[in-house]
Structure 1
Amino acid sequence: MRALYVFSLLIIGAAGECSSGQTQINEGTRTCCYYDTKGIPTIGVGFNLQRSDATSVMAKYKLKLTDVLADCQKSTKNACLTTAQATDIFNNGNYPEASSCASTYAPGMPTSVHAALTDIAFAGCGTLNQFVKMKAALVAKQWKTASDELKSSKWCTDVKSTRCGLDVACIASGK
């Protein structure tokens, strides 16, 4: 895990910063319906099609939710978004919601720390709120302790090691 942490710091250094781009890369962009790692029908940049607003969000792009979900069930690609539409949903819905959650969870965090918290909150605000000890360390500006709490979490075990490592490095940076 230490090698992953160092590798992640190198990647972040090369990329220049922790940002919303990190979440886009972590999630990937898929223009047609797919099942995420938990079996939830999803589209775009991690947009959960079981959300209460999924019907209206799909309608905004002239898609019927039932048709999009049929693509998941039948492994077809008849009701898909464009890449621009997927990005629009991310930029104007999913990411701002996750960012707001991160701001409520730990107000006033440095940019890189906030980006990592937002990346975690992208799975849902409830996911981020489970990190009670990490929150206490963040409030105390104990970046290493906070990053260690994340690194040893079930969330880090569940997500790709690269995603965990990047978020750990962003928090540890205290920037």
Structure 2
Amino acid sequence: MSTTNPNFDVLRAYIAGNEGYRTSVYTDTQGNKTVGIGFNLQQSGAQKQIENLGVNYQQLCSGQVVLTNGQVDSLFEDSVNNAIQGAQAMVSNFSRLVPARQIVVVDMVFNLGESKFSGFHQMIAALEASNWDEAATQMLNSLWYDQVGERGQRDVGSMKLGALLPMANNLS
């Protein structure tokens, strides 16, 4: 996947739908100061990334300043590209997965970070064996699944089906 691939827009929309969009700092469900589309302000390198946008990191963290839409998009673009690279590095057959399963894996890497995703050994092995039900079961039986609510349900269902499930609030 790359920015020239039409699925990149689908990937971005999927992750953004799971994360939400905020120009001001907020505390995520795990207690991390976050901004934009799931950008963890406490992750390694976050201060430098924020300051490279011309924003005072401390003022952003304290809520004194907000990001522009362009700054949110820039952070998101970098984060998505990093998640794609992480997914490609950790799942040996990533390029051969159908786009929906690629998106689920990238969504998990985006949400968890590479180090935590890499702990999903049995899920990764199931992906590499094209055992979608087992991959979904490994996702379902994880602390991650218990923590992410609707996102987990959507990712598990999409993994099983090989097609993206819609957001619940988009269902009629």
TM-score using structure 2 length: 0.80
Partner of residue 168, structure 2: none
Per the alignment, residue 104 of structure 2 pairs with 116
Q: Percent identity?
A: 28
Query: Which stretch shows the higher mean deviation, 51-60 or 27-36?
Result: 51-60
Match of residue 172 from structure 1:
160
Normalising by structure 1, we get a TM-score of: 0.79
Q: Within the alignment, does 1:103 sit opposite 2:103 as a pair?
A: no
Question: Contact (CA 8 Å) 1:61, 1:81: kept in 2 or not?
Answer: no
1:96, 1:170 → 2: CA distance?
21
Give 5+ residue unaligned stretches, structure 2.
1-8, 164-172
CA distance change for structure 1 residues 95 and 165 in 2, over 3 Å: closer, same or farther?
Answer: same
Give the conservation status (yes or no) of the 8 Å contact 1:20–1:115: no
**Aligned: 1:31 with 2:31:** no
Give the structure, 1 or 2, with the largest relative contact order (CA under 8 Å, sep 6 or more): 1
Which residue in 2 is equivalent to 1:85? 71
The Cα of 1:18 is off from its aligned counterpart by: 6.3
Opposite residue 113 of structure 1, the aligned amino acid is: R
Corresponding letter in the other structure for 2:70: A
**Displacement, 1:174?**
3.8
Give the deviation of 1:49 after TM superposition.
1.1
Contact 1:35–1:41 (Cα < 8 Å) also in 2 = yes
Correspondence 1:127 to 2:116 = yes
Structure 2: distance between partners of 1:145 and 1:18: 25
Q: Is 2:93–2:128's contact at 8 Å kept on the other side of the alignment?
A: no
Local SS of the residue matching 1:51:
coil
Structure 1 position 85, deviation (Å): 1.8
Report SS of the residue matched to 2:115: helix
RMSD of Structure 2 on Structure 1 (CA): 1.8
Letter in 2 for 1:50: Q
